[in-house]
Amino acid sequence: MSQSAAITPPARIAVIGLGNMGRPMSACLARAGYHVVGFDISAEARSAYAEAGGTAASTASDAVAGAAAVVTLLGDGKIVRSAIEGVKAHLAPGAVVIDMSSSAPIGTRALGEELIAAGFGFIDAPVSGGVKRAVDGTLAIMAGGDGATIDRAEPVLKAMGKSIFRTGPLGSGHAAKALNNYVSAAGLAAAVEALAIGGRFGIEPEVLVDVLNASTGRNNSTENKLKQFVIPEKYTSGFSLALMAKDIGTADELAHDIGVSAPLADQVTALWSAAMQALGPGADHVEIGRYLTAKR
């Protein structure tokens, strides 16, 4: 395949990271006709992937060998760098690395520049939409990097997402993802506080949610989280509080790194970090409702 050609089926795609998002996103790629080979450091995750019908490699190096694109879905940018450095010698000439993890933008830019200098392609393309939209291939994807490289990777991205946003230079996808989650987290915290205040004054939570959703206070959390998870105390949204806190911190750190004053981001970061410490890393992010209610 030419280094300028679009990566289309049945090209080989390596997926590094077979967690809650990696498994369904791999399945979307396979349904689109790609030859997908997955790898995870967890033997249990590899076994589960294989049992579900996927092709699992025993090592990351085996997974990336001959792959036109390598998709990373890992915990953070430091893990991504370690994984890519470990397989760099085994990457096919001109292969495109697509980091779909939630990584720190400045670290992403540094890693991408190194890979590009070595003759590989690189874009950052984190996602929004959660496991449900990963399963049905309707994720929102924020792609940062060179336009020609995004052009090559676009068929791969379209197999997993419904909306592809070209956000700008390297690292901008990860910046957009972190900023999106910061705004989402701020909205959720504000909505939960509003329910607590309204409840103390005698307004039924469901009634206040209806008011918000018919008014200017409407946001993703009022529509999709309050009645579904927070009010019935069913904390099963599938996205962890620890990951949300990490993404908010990434947005706040970026603001400080580039000299932008963000006092609200500072406070939201502190709030979610305190919630994570109090509830533990295994808590679902909608448990911020439980944390804030307990503090009343």
Catalytic residue set = 177
Q: Specify the length of the chain in residues.
A: 296
CA angle 140, 141, 142 (to 5 degrees): 125
Q: Enter the tokens of residue 104.
A: 């720190």
Kind and range of the H or E run holding 121: strand 121-124
Of 202, 197, 188, 196, nearest in space to 293 by CA:
196
| 126 in Cβ contact with 274 (< 8 Å) | no
Per-residue exposure over 69-86, b if at least 16 CB sit within 10 Å of its own CB, e if not: bbbbbbebbebbbebbee
Tell me: cis bond preceding 10? Omega within 30 of 0 counts.
yes
Compute and round to an integer the Cα radius of gyration of the chain: 20
How far apart (Å, rounded) are the C-alpha atoms in residues 1 and 94?
9
| 285 in Cβ contact with 239 (< 8 Å) | yes
